[in-house]
Amino acid sequence: MKIIDSNGQQRECVSVEPDKKFPGYVKANFESKIRKGFEHSEWYPMEEFYKNNPKLKPSKVIKDETKEEVGVVTIAGPKYLQDITKNWKKNMFSGIPVWISRGKGESQQRIVVNNDKNKLYIEYVISFNVQENIEAQGNTLPDIKTKDLFEQMIKKAKKSVD
């Protein structure tokens, strides 16, 4: 099938579908021109993709799940964060970044490995390259919109999954 990509170029692709691992994004699979028999994938923001490719928009409305989820950490451990007020679907946040906006752990971000109804199991890295004595400055990052920050984090998460 032919699609119009983010650069306005018409391209032949194998398949297109909303990506359940990255809510709010469409995953397009392309046949590799270099490695015969192999495919590679590209992700497009759902709204932009369907604007460029209105004929491919599914008849069933797809819920855009890119809205931020805000909560309060009620219990935390080295590999998890828990908010006892939540009732999430199992693994709905797998591969999605979580960012601690204030309080203990302020400005830290981690990738959610999986989740249950109210607990996020997160990845962490032990490194000798960590800079010490860096303090968070306030509860928000200056000159960065939260949506832009999460888009950057999602791109980073995609790279780590591939």
**pLDDT given at position 46:** 85
Which has more pLDDT, 92 or 141? Answer: 92
- Taking CB atoms within 8 Å and a gap of at least 24, the contacts of 103-107 are 103/73, 104/76, 105/73, 105/76, 106/136, 106/139, 107/136, 107/141
pLDDT per residue over 36-54, tens digit each? 888 888 888 888 898 999 9
Whether pLDDT at 115 is above 70: yes
pLDDT score, position 103: 77
pLDDT of residue 10: 93
- The pLDDT of residue 60: 52
Find, among 117, 75, 74, 124, the residue nearest to 98 by Cα. Answer: 124
pLDDT at 138: 43
Q: What is the pLDDT of residue 134?
A: 43
Whether 130 has a pLDDT exceeding 50, the answer reads: no
CA distance 52 to 82: 39
Question: DSSP alpha helices (H): ranges in 9-119?
Answer: 46-52
Report how far residue 22's alpha carbon sits from residue 20's, in angstroms, rounded to the nearest whole number.
5
For 92-107, what is the mean pLDDT? Answer: 79
pTM of the predicted protein model: 0.41
Q: Where are the domains of the chain?
A: 2-56, 75-161
